[in-house]
């Protein structure tokens, strides 16, 4: 039990703050890199899935037409765009050591826009669509405020 107390005291001492922060930063970098690698795999699989769906759809009768709705196919495209935006968020974090709020808001806007584009009126009600619209308005207002704040800080 004594060695544990000694390590806790060592970690909590002010002399070790910089070392501890350095360890935390290293841990964050390693996790960010692992997330980026996982996301690259997800993007690759999503693109492969999209190609597979397109090839199957174009080879199925009637030829040259999609049996799936275009909305479903657009949803696959937007999934890839969202994953790429998330990868961009991680990349910027690794480069600048900060989370860029603008990028996060844009990613969220793309995700909500995807939900609106593929909205299934048979499954959901108009109130759900209204909630998604409200989310887009809030995200747009947030983006505008962040942009305005960034412009004001630069001058």
- Per-residue pLDDT of 94-132, as tens digits, reads 888 888 888 899 999 999 988 888 887 888 888 998 999
User: Which residues neighbour 33 within 8 Å (Cβ) at sequence distance 6 or greater?
Assistant: 94
Predicted pLDDT at 64: 62
SS3 68: coil
**Burial class of residue 105 in the structure, from the number of CB atoms within 10 Å of its CB (0-12 exposed, 13-18 middle, 19+ buried):** buried
Tokens for 98?
A: 């900060």
Helices (H), the chain: 2-12, 17-59, 70-96, 101-117, 126-154
pTM above 0.75, yes or no: no
Tokens for 132?
A: 């998604």
């Amino acid at each position: 039990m004594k060695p544990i107390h000694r390590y806790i005291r060592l970690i909590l001492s002010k002399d070790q703050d910089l070392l501890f922060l350095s360890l935390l930063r290293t841990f964050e970098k390693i996790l960010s890199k692992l997330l980026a690698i996982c996301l690259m795999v997800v993007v690759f699989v999503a693109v492969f899935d999209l190609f597979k769906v397109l090839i199957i759809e174009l080879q199925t009768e009637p030829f040259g037409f999609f049996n799936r709705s275009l909305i479903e196919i657009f949803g696959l495209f937007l999934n890839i765009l969202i994953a790429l935006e998330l990868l961009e968020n991680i990349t910027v974090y690794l480069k600048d050591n900060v989370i860029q709020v603008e990028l996060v808001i844009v990613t969220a806007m793309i995700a909500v826009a995807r939900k609106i584009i593929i909205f299934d009126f048979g499954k959901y009600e108009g109130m759900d669509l209204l909630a998604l619209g409200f989310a887009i308005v809030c995200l747009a207002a947030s983006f505008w405020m962040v942009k305005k704040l960034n412009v004001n800080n630069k001058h």
